[in-house]
Each structure stands twice: as C-alpha cells, then as structure tokens.
Amino acid sequence: MNDLYELPLDEAGYNFGFLDEYAKREIRRAVIKAICVPGYQTPYASREMPMGRGFGTGGLQLTLSLVGPDDTLKVIDQGSDDSVNAVNLRHFVELTCEGVQTTEHTSEATLIQSRHRIPEVALTEEQILVLQVPYPDPLVVVEPSEARRKTMHGEGDYSRLLTKLYEDIVQFDEITISHRYPTRINGHYVIDPSPIPRYDVPQLHMSAALVLLGAGREKKIYAVPPYTRADPLAFDDVPFRTEDFHDEHGKRRACVRCGSIDSFLDEIIGEDGDKSYQCSDSDYCNDYRNGHTHQKANATNEGAVQ
C-alpha cells in the first residue's frame, strides 16, 4: 500500500484521538501554510463535529489535530475554566484522546484553547494558543463579496476599514470597537483576532507562543507565528488604546476577590444594584489570591501600542 494511505494506528488498530489521520494531516498542512503566511486566512475542509457550529468547532479541530498523549490541555471560555463551553470541550478531549492531561493552570498547559480571552500571564515558546473564531474576515463589514475581499487582502488595501474607524472617531470621538479589533499581522494582512477584548490585542504582538485561530463554520485557519508583529489599526493622532479600568477619581479599579490592579476586570452587578469588579481570568485570580505572582503579559498595556 502507498505510504500516503498508511495510517499510524496504535496496537489495537485505532488512530489517536477523535479525528482520523487524514483530517489531522489536512488541518496540519493548513496550519503550516498559515504560519508561513502570517495572518492569511487559509481555507480547509472543516469537519462535522459532534457539536453545533458556533460552539468552537474550528478551535476544537485545531486542538484535536495537534494534541498528543504527552500534552496538557487547558480550555477557557471568557477567562474561566468552569463555564459550560469550556467544561464540555475539555470533557470531550478527555473522553476521546487517551493520555492527554488537562489542567486549569495556564503555566502547566502545553496547549490552550480559548474563547474570548488570552490568559493574563505571559505565554512561552513551549505553548500554543488556539482561539475560537466566529468571523474570520475583518473586511466583511465593508465588503460583502468574498472574491473582492480576497483581492483587497492580497493588495493590502484596508482603506475602507480605516474609513470605518475614521467615521467612528467623527461620530463618537473615539474608535468604538470593543472586541474583534482589526489587527495587522507582520505588516500586511489584517486579521479579526476573534472576540478578545482590546486589552488582549497587545499580547499578540511579538508573542513567544504560537497563536492559531480557527473558524469552523467559515472553514478558515490563520496564525500569528511567534515573535511576529501584530499592530492594531490606528491613526497617528488617534492611537490605539485598551479598556480603561479607572474610576471617576482616576484610581485603577481592583479585583474584589484578589485585589489585583493589573488584570482585565469583569463588571458584576449585585442584587442591590451595586457594581463590583472581578478578574476575568479565573486561574490568574486564584494564583494572585494565593500569593503567587507570574510575569504579566500586559506590562506595557497601560499606554498606547502603535
């Protein structure tokens, strides 16, 4: 039999994990292409998964094609390991990929699948971050035709996107995009970095960890390779800025649970209508509460990133 058709099966005659070897091979090829052309939306044959599209099937296919018995996986949703989506995805990998360890600690994980957040602590070269993507193309808001969008990406023509940001400034005095902030990778392609808050965008810049983004429904994979430029679109006189967590007196709000004043905070409204703030990254919050300190990824996050 031809080598191409020979599958690496285990002793019992099964291939490893949920995806068959052909599917993994195709996804890994798309990943290699995505790494070689940073920010380019590489098409792939997205498989049917035993869950609805929109629940992270793109991220899960990346995870399942990369994970091996020596890996430790962390799955987070909105910064939390305990939300329904994260628990179900983690449980699915535990059920189908024998030998894979799972963890809630960012520093222990070799592979991190996430929705809507990048962990607070700096990731390392030994880690891969997989982000779940609902809408991969940032140009979709200004151009309905995919063929035309492809030409615009190829030519690096993002003038209409910049016009949209400019219209925001004219109307609201600032750029109002809170999530999915268009970000230029390696000086050319502009990506939709998935629904992470603006606060997380600077972490993509020169990240030591490989960042892979997978859109299952839209059948696209793209990447921010390690140590690659990631520049949020902005203007010389209106620089990019992240969320502001200062109160009306100019004091940085602290997490009500751990006291941290340098993490991304979720606003919680109590029964009496009072607002309080808590770290969105639950592992970071627990660690900070227990007196552990890690190297913060967002040390430079206070200022503008050009």
Residues that bind Zn ion (CB under 5 A): 255, 257-258, 260, 279, 285
Other CB atoms closer than 10 Å to residue 55's CB: what's the count? 17
Which residues are designated catalytic? 39, 255, 258, 279, 285
- Burial class of residue 267, CB neighbours in 10 A (0-12, 13-18, 19+): exposed
Q: How many CB atoms lie within 10 A of CB 205?
A: 17
In the bound state with Zn ion, the residue whose beta carbon lies nearer, of 213 and 285, is: 285
* CB of residue 74 to Zn ion, shortest distance in Å: 18
Which of residues 223 and 258 has its CB atom nearest to Zn ion in the complex? 258
Q: Residue 259: which region, alpha, beta or left (left: phi > 0; alpha: psi -120 to 50)?
A: left
Whole-angstrom distance, CA of residue 17 vs CA of residue 93: 8
- Work out whether strand 190-191 and strand 183-185 pair parallel, antiparallel, or are unpaired: antiparallel
Quickly tell me which residue has 């993509």 as its tokens: 204
Work out the angle between the directed axes of helices 21-36 and 57-66 (0-180°, nearest 10).
100
Smallest distance, Zn ion to C-beta of residue 86, A:
18
Q: Minimum CB separation from Zn ion for residue 269, in Å?
A: 17
Q: Find all residues with CB under 8 Å of 23, minimum gap 6, and list them.
A: 45, 47, 61, 65
Q: Give residues with Cβ within 8 angstroms of 271, minimum separation 6.
A: none
**In whole angstroms, how close is the CB of 208 to Zn ion at the nearest point?**
24
**Residue 8 or 270: which CB sits closer to Zn ion?**
270
Reported as type and span, the H/E element at residue 279 is strand 275-279
State in angstroms the smallest separation of the CB of 277 from Zn ion: 9
Name the residue nearer to Zn ion (CB basis): 171 or 290. 290
Residue with smaller CB distance to Zn ion, 75 or 255: 255
Rg value, the chain, Cα: 20
β-strands 230-232, 220-224 pairing: unpaired
